[in-house]
Amino acid sequence: MTIDTFDAASVKPSHWNLASVIEQLRVSREATHNIRHHGRVRELPSREALTTIVNGLQAALFPTHYGRPNLTDESIDFFVGDTLNTTLNRLAEQVRRGLQFSAEEAIPDEEAMTRQAHDITRRFAASLPEVRALLVSDVLAAFSGDPAATSVAEIMLCYPGTIAILYYRLAHSLHQLGSPFLARLISDIAHSSTGIDIHPAAQIGASFFIDHGTGVVIGETAIIGQRVRLYQHVTLGAKRFPADEQGVLIKGVPRHPIVEDDVVIYAGATILGRITIGAGSTIGGNVWLTQSVPPASNVSQAQMRND
């Protein structure tokens, strides 16, 4: 039996015409298609580090579910403190890197950027009790809203909607505190692992439940009230994208739906534009909706009626 091995030294560069390719890539990179920042090289935030950070935050928030199941009443606070200290130090560095890509103005000096990153991280740490309270309300909403759920542990470990919401709550806090690029990266990590895409700038109230979840999309300016339930493949999206006189898209314009309290939206529904779904309404499966509906509405594919 013979084993073929690849010897990089045996490949002659001239075989690939690399000199020409490298030159053309340089011209594209430096001149014709230059999208690089004009200044010193900036360190990108690390997706691997952010995954480790979110795992650490999960463990600090819910030590026996995401940390160590053998923790005791005596050891649990020590575990939380040590985990938080390590995780927040890692987070501060990633926040610092992210700030380089968030600022539209000239990059501040390193010392000022480090101070800002530490301030954001400190305020983020202070927000964690509130974030945990929201997450507990989300888990309890899933437990009460899904007849197939057998325990809180099952929801926290097996439900992709719960994981996506956990990532969203953390990312939303960072977004509010002035670290939008890092928040977006955390949301994308959640999207990659769960198939659920929640923009960190969206506003979502307590007791939020995403059942099944795959394919759910919640846009940047969406506002969702309390006790709202979504099923798989629901889209809360934009109907149109306003542009200025030069045809450039205007950023930050409210363009996604407002979903009031106690609304249920079933699988495959697409809700577009800055419309309002009134409190207590039910939106049926596969509905395409581009107009507001009053409270306590029942909207189905075939017709729309107000009960």
Gap between the Cα atoms of 90 and 113, Å rounded = 15
Q: Is residue 251 part of a domain?
A: yes
Q: Is residue 275 part of a domain?
A: yes
Task: Assess whether 266 and 151 both reside in one domain.
Answer: no
Task: Assess whether 165 and 225 both reside in one domain.
Answer: no
Domain end, chosen from 196, 223, 241, is at 196
CATH number of the domain encompassing residue 80: 1.10.3130.10
Task: Assess whether 68 and 170 both reside in one domain.
Answer: yes
Task: Assess whether 187 and 225 both reside in one domain.
Answer: no
pLDDT of residue 151: 95
Task: Assess whether 173 and 60 both reside in one domain.
Answer: yes
pLDDT of residue 248: 81
Task: Assess whether 49 and 191 both reside in one domain.
Answer: yes
Gap between the Cα atoms of 117 and 108, Å rounded = 12
Q: Is residue 30 part of a domain?
A: no
pLDDT of residue 270: 98
pLDDT of residue 9: 58
pLDDT of residue 43: 84
Q: Is residue 99 part of a domain?
A: yes
C-alpha atoms less than 13 angstroms from C-alpha of 187 in its C-beta half-sphere: 24
CATH number of the domain encompassing residue 294: 2.160.10.10
Q: Is residue 205 part of a domain?
A: no
Task: Assess whether 164 and 50 both reside in one domain.
Answer: yes
> Which tokens belong to 72?
């005791």
Task: Assess whether 123 and 180 both reside in one domain.
Answer: yes
Contacts (Cβ under 8 Å, ≥6 apart) of 199: 184, 187, 218, 219, 220, 222
Residues in the chain: 307
pLDDT of residue 103: 58
CA angle 86, 88, 93 (to 5 degrees): 105
Gap between the Cα atoms of 306 and 294, Å rounded = 8
Q: Is residue 289 part of a domain?
A: yes
Task: Assess whether 64 and 184 both reside in one domain.
Answer: yes
Domain end, chosen from 196, 228, 244, is at 196
Query: Whole-prediction pTM value?
Result: 0.86
Task: Assess whether 261 and 169 both reside in one domain.
Answer: no
Task: Please classify residue 150 by burial: count the beta carbons closer than 10 Å to its beta carbon, then call 0-12 exposed, 13-18 middle and 19+ buried.
Answer: exposed
Q: Is residue 58 part of a domain?
A: yes
Gap between the Cα atoms of 119 and 96, Å rounded = 10
- pLDDT (tens, 9 = 90+) of the chain, 307 residues, equals 455 555 555 555 457 777 888 898 888 888 887 776 655 556 889 999 999 999 999 999 999 999 998 999 999 999 999 999 999 999 999 999 999 887 555 556 888 999 999 999 999 999 999 999 999 999 999 999 999 999 999 999 999 999 999 999 999 999 999 999 999 999 999 999 999 999 999 999 999 999 999 999 999 999 999 999 999 999 999 998 777 777 787 887 899 999 999 999 999 999 999 999 999 999 999 999 999 999 999 999 865 555 5
pLDDT of residue 252: 79
Domain end, chosen from 148, 169, 196, is at 196
pLDDT of residue 47: 95
Task: Assess whether 185 and 276 both reside in one domain.
Answer: no
Q: Is residue 16 part of a domain?
A: no
Q: Which range marks the domain in which residue 274 is found? A: 215-307
Give residue 35's identity as a one-letter amino acid code: I
Three-state secondary structure call for residue 281: coil
Gap between the Cα atoms of 124 and 53, Å rounded = 13
Gap between the Cα atoms of 56 and 153, Å rounded = 18
Residue 26 C-alpha from the chain's centroid: 35
Q: Are 299 and 281 in contact (CB under 8 A)?
A: yes
Task: Assess whether 139 and 231 both reside in one domain.
Answer: no
Total number of domains in the chain = 2
